Amino acid sequence: MNITAILIATGVVAAVGLLIGLFLGVAGIKFHVEVDEKEQAVLEALPGNNCGGCGFPGCSGLAAAIAKGEAPVNGCPVGGQPVAEVVAGIMGVDAGASERMVAFVKCGGNCEKANTDYAYVGSKDCRMASFAPGGGPKSCNAGCMGYGSCVSVCPFDAIHVVNGVAVVDKEACKACGKCIEVCPKKLIELIPYDAKYAVACNSHEKGPVVMKACQAGCIGCSLCAKNCPKEAVEVTDFLAKIDQEKCEGCGVCAEKCPKKCINALS
């Protein structure tokens, strides 16, 4: 065994290691990025779902924006008011009141109530099926297709297809908006968690057309609007819509609706 060779090799390895260490140390100092303590604290306070419901690329994006004053302290829909209070404390501002929102599917055309024009054979994905003739097999081109694209993107398991129509579990929903983005029919919207009634229809077709396609569709008769004591219902383009700020949940609109397309929300 050549002791000299071993010593030389050891020396070379040690020298290389020393040089690498020095290089990394200098690089660390040169390229060091100052971390905003508030940003880090806000990030730790956020739930970490990275759902994008706030409009920023994940929780880190929202934390950076809040720290810079470019986003409100209550900008996280998942964390809601409790997280907003913590973030407000970090930023030294008032959290303000934020209303909890949940997703609502504007369709009641389930397998028994909605008609179909043909048997669809293809990808069980709403986005793909919407390119089929007529926008899909359902006679109503504005209704839920029931293939669950919204289900596949929900990070909270808050939406499921029941009897051919997507239904939201409002207790599990965090209003991240992913289901809204993915729905090709644009029939999912955010409504207040405490909303008492909502119109489960998305069609703007005239009454006779709607009745041929679905037993549960809004026919634009305006009986709901005419009988609402708070003028909280408006019919535009043959479709009723409830102004949730005006609605007091009396239920008159649901009682008067001949097609029973105004749902009482539990």
Q: Give the pLDDT of residue 34.
A: 58
d(CA 174, CA 51): 10
Q: Which domains, ranges and CATH numbers included, belong to the chain? A: 37-91 (1.10.15.40), 101-264 (3.30.70.20)
Type of residue found at 251: G
d(CA 42, CA 66): 8
Region 216-223 average pLDDT = 97
174-202 tens-digit pLDDT: 999 999 999 999 999 999 999 999 999 99
In this structure, of 16-20, 25-29, 75-79, 227-231, the range with the lowest mean pLDDT score is 25-29
35-72 tens-digit pLDDT: 678 889 999 999 988 888 888 888 999 999 999 989 99
d(CA 128, CA 152): 14
What mean pLDDT value characterizes the chain?
91
Q: Is the dihedral of CA 90, 91, 92, 98 positive or negative?
A: negative
d(CA 156, CA 158): 5
DSSP 36: P
Beta bridge partners of 160: 167
Give me the long-range contacts of 172-176 (CB less than 8 A, separation at least 24): 173/102, 173/103, 174/49, 174/51, 174/53, 174/77, 174/78, 174/80, 175/53, 175/77, 175/78, 175/100, 175/101, 175/102, 175/103, 176/49, 176/51, 176/52, 176/53, 176/77, 176/78
132-162 tens-digit pLDDT: 999 999 999 999 999 999 999 999 999 999 9
Q: Give the pLDDT of residue 28.
A: 64
Q: Label residue 157 left, alpha or beta by phi (over 0 means left) and psi (-120 to 50 means alpha).
A: left
